[in-house]
Structure 1
């Protein structure tokens, strides 16, 4: 009887260790994703800053616009050439494609966690915010430029 109990205890301890290891691994990956998204957000800010600084005819308040509206305003007011706009579109596209990969991973993590409930609520909230950010910016960006003559 003691032997069976010892085996069960060992099995339980191994399972707890696996769960803790999984939690630590997931936590590290979530932190990496959040850090990467922050870096991508800084790259987006840098695109705005560079365009506005290099072209003083572009109003600073354009930086408050989401990418599609930012580029539309620049194009409508003839503030940059089509080639310059296409270069900016390309930069946004690269960033948003990287975000798409992260969004897919976040979705998988959240789906998996919905079954196991391992991720702390604060981290879940951040991950959901990242998804919302992606949906409100890059999805509109891709839809707009897919429908226009500017090639992605």
Structure 2
């Protein structure tokens, strides 16, 4: 059986090869753009996943509640503070993530993010997080909000 080659058929072969090369180049370009976006996002977030948590010595034993295990870490231009709260009131009581104030060089830091509230039964525990905008690279001073001590 003989192969019949029509005139101009090699042109279609070149067109198909050319289209495959364009598709491969577009795919490579898409991967490069995706990687650049990923690195830019990681830089903007300040490598939050890699930042080590540091322990604070803040511990408060209120009559009806307890705050413990306060940890903080610096993530880019932010300071994240995470802590545990336990309810010792009978019945149900609502708690919000507003226990903490953070200072750098004696100046209170602005808080970023919204409020979260949870209702806890007696003996229940929860972990809260608050994020503050850092002023500089100095070590933060973490304190309980004075309204909780009144």
TM-score range, shorter chain: 0.3 to 0.5
Structure with max Cα Rg: 2
Structure number with higher helix proportion: 1
TM-score by length of 1: 0.35
The higher relative CO (CA closer than 8 Å, separation ≥ 6) is in 1
With normalisation by structure 2, the TM-score equals 0.36
- Which has the larger share of strand? 2
